[in-house]
Amino acid sequence: MTGHWPQTVLILYEGDDQGGDFGRSFADGFRANGCNVTLLNRSQPWDRPFDLALAYGPFRLATSMLPPVRRLLARPAGQRPLFAWWLTEGVPTPQLPGWLTEGASRLRLAIDRSPLMRPHRPSLARGHRLRVYGELRWVQSHGALDVLAVTSASCAAYLRQRGFAPIVVPLGHHPHYYGEDLGLARDVDVCFIGNVDARRRRGVLQRVCDELCTRGVTVSIRDAIYGTDRTRFLNRCRIMLNILRAPQDFVGQRFLLAAANKALIVSEPLNDLQPFEPGRHLVVAPIARIAETVAHYLSQEAERRRLVDQAYHLITHDLTIAQMTGRILAQARRCVSARADSAIPAERREAGLPSSPGHDRDPHDGGFA
């Protein structure tokens, strides 16, 4: 792909560690596709031109996608990179009526933007996903949303019903950031990794832990664990629980982590978990039967290994970060080609001619800033 568009990619990360698993693994994925990649915090300005800018999240209540998009829109049209948003957060509750979602998301966005509302933000900050949806709508309405990628088909369906045009791009595996099989002794029977502040998750997890305790099984819960510590811990685990914050959730990171480190996922039912398949890459059970299901697979090591081996093969052969970033690049190129075609007068397009004599440049040749 060297010599073709895009040559330069800007990844806008949040946080203070170059985006952790997301930003750094995304960067390596684009590099594997022949791109020159720069990582900048979303709060940082940039002076040099880029062909493509990609952002993801936002994950935190204190962060926003709007400042970098405003900087992007302020640039002259000829120097504006194509903008891609890899939405790695969940969507608002699907059961909410459309008018309520739109109104509440605008209100939530206004709360963040208004100095007058600053004293009320702590009590109103729960609507994180409504704010993200509001920002998504704002970026779309300002003509800046060139590529929207989401991690699941259910999220894509939700957004298509509301006038967006997302593509499905699951998170991709990178062994350095998500882990690999280290061949360690698996002396931890069951674990859960993630934040347990959400009321629903905390309640369901406590129920499962109590039921497992009656069977003599202890669940090891870890929240802030990353990098090599997380890889080594997961290599010691036989089973990882998947309990959702909200019923519509599925980003895929927990499944990716489990598969990379050969821990078996036992999950409550999800609306959509592709490309993972129940009974082939993981196990899905009703909440009332999760403890029973965990106990079964703890007693059936050969069956557990069969499933984790298949999951490991899936992510290392069909779900790599280079393949997933390649999907975003392909969509970005389609967007550039569509723009180039729309700029050609109808009579010249029908004749198969470029927009004007002497302007027959390949739209993929790196000439777009």
Architecture of the CATH domain 175-317: 3-Layer(aba) Sandwich (3.40)
Q: Biggest alpha carbon distance in the chain?
A: 79
- 163-191 average pLDDT score: 96
- The residues, any chain, with a CB within 8 Å of residue 12's CB and separated by 6 or more, are 40, 41, 42, 53, 54, 55, 68
b/e string for 75-113 if b means 16 or more Cβ within 10 A?
A: eeeeebbbbbbbbbbbbbeeeeeeeebbebbbebbebbe
Whole-number Å distance between alpha carbons of 152 and 77: 32
Whole-number Å distance between alpha carbons of 283 and 307: 9
3-state secondary structure at position 265: strand
pTM above 0.75, yes or no: yes
- Cα angle value 252/1/8 (rounded, 5°): 75
Domain range annotation of the chain: 8-172+321-350, 175-317
Residue type, 126: R
- Binned at pLDDT 50, 70 and 90, residue 348 comes out as very low
Contact 180, 308 (CB under 8 A): no
Report DSSP letters for 72-128, one per residue: HHHS-GGGPPEEEEEE-SPPPPTTS-HHHHHHHHHHHHHHHH-GGGGGGHHHHTT-H
3-state secondary structure at position 182: coil
Q: List phi, psi (to 5°) of 53.
A: -115, 130
| 361 has a pLDDT exceeding 60 | no
- Binned at pLDDT 50, 70 and 90, residue 349 comes out as very low
The pLDDT of residue 159 is 95
Query: Where are the alpha helices (H) located in the chain, listed in sequence order?
Result: 20-32, 66-74, 98-113, 121-124, 128-141, 153-160, 175-178, 199-214, 227-235, 253-260, 290-298, 301-317, 321-342, 346-350
Structure tokens at 57: 């999240």
264 beta partners: 239
The pLDDT of residue 356 is 39
Question: pLDDT tens for residues 269-311?
Answer: 988 888 999 999 999 999 999 999 999 999 999 999 999 999 9
| 351 has a pLDDT exceeding 60 | no
Contact 33, 322 (CB under 8 A): yes
Q: Which has more pLDDT, 249 or 276?
A: 276
3-state secondary structure at position 36: strand
| 187 has a pLDDT exceeding 80 | yes
* % of the chain at pLDDT higher than 70: 86
Contact 177, 21 (CB under 8 A): yes
Mean pLDDT of the chain: 87
Cis peptide before 94 (omega within 30 of 0): no
**How buried is 39 (Cβ within 10 angstroms: 0-12 exposed, 13-18 middle, 19+ buried)?**
middle
Whole-number Å distance between alpha carbons of 40 and 99: 36
Q: Which has more pLDDT, 112 or 306?
A: 306
- 222-244 average pLDDT score: 94
Whole-number Å distance between alpha carbons of 254 and 40: 26
Phi-psi region at 183: left, alpha or beta (left = phi > 0; alpha = psi -120 to 50): left
The pLDDT of residue 34 is 96
